[in-house]
Structure 1
Amino acid sequence: MTKKVIAAVSRALVLFLALGVWVAGYAPATTAAAKRFSDVGPKQGWALQDITKMSLKGIIVGTPEGQFLPDQGVQQQQALVMVIKTMGYEQEAENYKGKDHSAQYKGVADWAKKYVSFAHQEDLLRVDEGDRFHGEYAASREWIAQLLVRMIDKEAEALAIKHDSRSFTDARDISKWADGYVKLAASDDYGLISGFPNDDGTFSFKPKENVTRAQMTVLISKAERFMSNPVGNELRGQILSVGDEWLIGTKDGNRKLKVTGDTAIFQDYKKVSSSVIKRFQPIYALYTPGKPDVAQFIQILDEDAAEEVITGTITKVVKPLKTVALTTSEGLTSFYLSDGVVYGSKDGTVKSIDDLNEGDTIELTFVGGQVSKAYLITGSAAGSSKGTIYEVDLTNNLITLQHGEQQSAKVYTLNKDATVQYPDRRATGLAGLSGEMEVEIKLKDNEVVEIKVTEIVEQGKIISVSADKKYITITSAGDQAAKVYSLATDAEITLQGTATTSQTIQAGDDVKLRIGSDGQIQTLNIMNRSAGNAVVDDGLIEGKVYAVDSGSGTVILEKETNGQKTYHPYDFGSTYDLSINGKWSTRLADIKKDMRAKVQLFEDKIVYFEVDNRLSGKVVRVDKDRRLLTLAHENGQQVPYYVDNNYDMVIRHQGGADLSDLELQDQVRVKLDENNRITDIAVQREFAYLVTDVYESSKRLNVKNEKGNSYSMTLNTNVELEVPGKSIPKITDFNKGDIVKASYLGDDLKNLAVLPSDKGMVTHVDQDKKQFTLAKNDGTTAVYTFNSGDVIEYGNNEYTQLNSLVVNDRVIVQTWLGGKKRLTKMQQVTEEFYYKDNNFIYAIENVRSYRYDPDLFVRGTDNRGITLDMLSKNDKIRMYRLDGIVYEVHKIQ
């Protein structure tokens, strides 16, 4: 081997040791046999199960020589990579093209810069934590506790911990900032990281001890169970039969798995042979990518570990079919309660499905994917966990909620240390709760321990309205402190019950507001006009920051009138809202000289302060050689700007962009330095994507473009959503298969709109003209031409020829940007109609239920439109569905 080859291999090995992933030229093995590392022996037996599992998932890998280096310490940047991969964000981090935040942290290796920048963006790392993170430093147990808590999104819960039943003998050695993280991570509820037993039965935590690769693998394996979308191809279930193929019963039906000589089988953290397998044992399994019937890894679970509990409110009880429709945090789902289900309740009155009623909150226990117990919850969690506050009695620690359409009331006991989260970030705790607020509550030991306010009702008087009608300052009844709220773009506004616009809002109005979960006004009702009694100022004061003293809370603004500059000092009030470059902040130190500012005063104190050193406009001239960029602003003024030599330009999906990539009339947002030179340019572009997955809990969509490239996008509150037929769109209104138009400003998603689609029945196909006719569900008919580049999708296959379409096919026709069409054929299901409710159609055969679309189209035997109510029991129907949703029902007999 030459010196050059040896050097290259050495560099690759160094990069592996740093990053913990394979570099180019080394492909990871894919079989369980190849995942046996030569240096993982009896000494690491305690970690073998998790090392095997996480290596098969691709979270960890070994060296090219087949070693794992289990006892080697983990650097903080290495641990960060492992966590990001476990969260399922490896692709997003590898493809990160946003701002390089890694320069804000110390000791970050080149290979880790994208991951560190992505971690900063996802709030796993924070600059204001000083030297807590240093990429090359060894990861201590207390720092890992913090990282794991942020990984499972439980930081607010950790920071709220004031005491804990678990205590460590070396608690004094735990850094103050890490105390809450350690307590939550080590708690019985989460069990992310354990202590070390002492001879006297106590436990030590050893907060400063470094974490090894083997230990880190076990820790992320434990934390993984809290991920809503775990990485890898996995399933849970109960063994129904064994042999050459195992039959596994899961919640989604029976699955077959082949167990080969390469399948790694574990029980009680020890590797075992398949001979120990027995029927009805619960298991966790990983199957081979692309081969869902071949098992790579199997963990035999004990009964307790196998149990899964789901809590929800009964929306519908179909007693003849032994089925309940349950509303949980994941939505509405139907469950079949077999004759073997054990029923129970605190008072012993629930003994069968006949004792369950709509509105009851029940707990279903699953073993091997099958319901084994149904328990009616009383006392601690009876009724919904969501409701409207009717009354708060802090003297007796009681809160009364109204639930459901019938507004049935229930009284709960309040824990005096209960935490309260408000959408507008107010810190008033329990004292800030009031009637008509919409809340979600969490109970423990019969007491309310957490309250999340999802909608605030506020009554008060408007004291100021910004000139652009975007910000409203009010004083609430009985509270003279001013509050500033932003008005949602789609807010519903009424004047004494009559719909109106934001232009009618005036200072002095008595109003009733509803503030949604994003902190913005969703509805505003002007109840009375009494401008004579109003406390009115001149609205937002505009100027430029001349100086700021964050210690004393004072800012000096420079204002220019007729060429004359004047300087005005202002003091911040005890509470205020601060917006810096479009993002909420709490740090006055982030306000910089020469930033443009807008100020809202109340009683001579700042209650709202907005600063920005960015400008928006359209490109009207580009002089690349002289680095001169001329922009047309909203007021029509055209202004030339010099572009700094080290400027940064961001165009979505385009690396290395420069001034030559700009086009006339491009909408851009630029950032200026103190010399009025452009340092950053974000360019607006529009793209079309196909939605492949919707993750409601994390408000994230997975999409792919026409070339098949996949991306992930997060729908935060700054993204304007557009869905046909929806006045206030939410992420739940987006569906797998939608084609969406995304508008990006740089890498910031600004707008996401579902492109219109047509659903209907194919009535004619002309192969010669390459045309087809669609009888649309709205009663109209349309003729489409099938052009080059158009695609027909059916199941997991795609076709580019019109001959894959036939008469009577039900399709959804969607058009991409640029005119290309995507046709999605629906699957047919034939059943006998039995019953329907507001969400499901029930069929006699196998007691099946089918969720239907709110805009369901129903045809009679003559193809004319009818309704579901016109169907009778035992009518034969053909349903057309896509991704589990029925879009059309055709009565055929």
Structure 2
Amino acid sequence: MLKNKRWSFLILVLTIFTLLAGTLTTEAAGGKLTDIEGHWAQQAISEMYASEIISGFPGGLFQPDDSVTKLQVVATLIRVLGLEEQAKEKEDDDVDYQLPPLNWGRGYLIMGVQEGMLDKDYLIQLGPAEPATRAEVAALVYHALKLNEDNSNLTFADSDQIPQTYRSCVAAMVKNKLMQGLPGNVFKPNDQINRGQMAVLLSRILENNFGGSEIQSRRYSGTISSVLSLDQSRWLVSINSGVNKITDPECEVFLDGNASSIADLKVDDKIKFVLNRSDQIAFINAARTNTEASGTNTNTETNATATSYKGKVASQLQIGEEYWLGITCSDGTQVTRPVTGGVKVNDSGSQKEVSSLSKGDYVEIKVSGDKIIEINSLTLSTIVGTVTSVRTSGLTLRSDSGTNTDIDVPDNVTVVRDNSTMTYNDVKVDNRIEVTVLDNKAQRIDILSAPNLEGVISELNTTGNYVITIRDDNGYTRDYVVVSDAEVMQNGSRISYDNLRVGDQVRLELNSKNRVTYIEIVGSESNKLTGDIRELDTAGTLGITIRNDDGDTLDYVVESDVEVVRDGSHIKFNVLSIGDRVKLELNSVNRVDYIEVVDEYNSTVNGKIADLITGSSPFIIIEKNDGSKSRYYLADNVTIDRDGESLHLRDMVIGSEVEAQIGNGKAKNIEIINDEDITVSGTVTYVSTSSKKITIKQLSGNEFSYYLRDGASLIDNSSHNISLYDVDEGWDVQLVLVGGKVSRLTQE
């Protein structure tokens, strides 16, 4: 119970507060972050957010697992040193060294040079928008805090991977307890540091009194002498040093490392708190010395009431002597908790250390008192079969034995095909798939083959094991083993496998072992055998080398009685010249038995720009209206125009509709028919939220800026609606243009 004189003091303070209530602000500085609950770094993030060292994104998001750029690291270090205002004043300063291209933060870099954090002679090589690695962050903090050099030996298992120039920096950071190793006694110097880890590092900087004087002056510690509710949202907290402060309505409270409330605090609790710029408490970290809230009881009763979670290991960190384990459940829920001391992983009747777990392992954790008290390894099952039904939240799979199995599919399921990440929408009826299942919920779906796998034969092996190599519409090539009794069909008739030719368009059917059992010729991609002659062998065994419109160089043996035609007349093979544009036909043994010299002098090609290569030998790939693609080198005097206006190569947008005049295989004139109502792709290089404008860089190297239409739809790669504030530089996006403005943006 509190002493009487303490009550008298509190009544006096309450009276003063009532008289001065009109002069105290109750407005929150920013509002709470909404996506850090349960995250292993939640406490440090909340502390740095309250200290105004870090900030969030629109919608209350922090995105703790996103990487941090080198410029963001410099900016936060400038803030933690209390130098942000000076940095902003230097934004337009003239300097005698070169700065890298920037969209923001020029003043931070100049201040970084002034403080000895950055070397002006190498600043141009910084790469400010690149993700920062752990070793790079160690070096930046080392120089920012002006730590003493430390050349002691590092004992990490991967110490040899730390660049020599960073080793003394890392050693000094470890010595000053600002950074430490990861589970398994590794440092992982080349791993990117994320926003949660950066918050922890900043918290340690302040905890060790390395922060700027103004920042440190807003941090207090002591023992609670009283805590009194003033109204529904504000409390008066007093500590033994005589400091009395009122809480901000949005004050974040942690008790023994767990998110809590001010009402849970008690007299004699150890406390550290942070004041905002309104002199109100914005963050509290409290500790209780008794075992009342320790949550470490692991008796039978505790285990019986523990909450169980099953999922995939997403993160594992060692903080001090304590392990933190994070898992992603099937429904996408993230659960991150500290592991009770002494707990091991139960695995098939034996036990192993928590540090032996790897990202992607499936486990069941049991949580009690907000700590993990039990960890069990999980063994998943796999089912292979053919999809017979696809639903929004599930599918039906028919196994090779004919058994049908219904499987639940959560929203965040991983879908993979040919080592590429897909989405659940890519799973179709008749796909052959392998499903990894936990509790009848799909954890991963591997698409083994499509129901109608089509492509162009690019290579054939007709000796030993039959192997066919096909190239699909996206340009991907894949090898498939063909069973010895595979059925090969053309125009309804069965033919020999030996009659297949490179360039044939085929449809394949695969068995359960992913081997080809059926091949049907559905067409011939003769344009792939059209190109410019690069080499000719006219003595001995005849040969020809061409480069086709896809840029592929193809070598063929030519039959001695080859038929060669130009302008409807037969000519001899040795009359051909290097540079002639020809179309080849192959016989059943892939030898050239027919050559036609193609005259494209006055041809006109309509389609859209599928690709554009600039440089010393520029060329354009046009996707024609029939879906085929052809490559054309640009003539030295090529003209490019749109609506009568002359354009440069840099003005051509991949995705534009064009009409091209071709002569001798080269584009002489290109007219842009439509570049305003099209779909374009590229990498985001700049976003202006004030003017609602986005700039992208295409594969050609050309950059284009587009304004957003009112009501434009913006979708991220998780199919979530977002705002322009959420779009980051470096995103690969697809833009749908209407009237030259963006009506839809999709992150790819």
What TM-score do you get using the length of structure 1 for normalisation?
0.27
Task: Tell me: higher relative CO, structure 1 or 2? Use CA pairs within 8 A at least 6 residues apart.
Answer: 2
* Structure having the higher Rg: 2
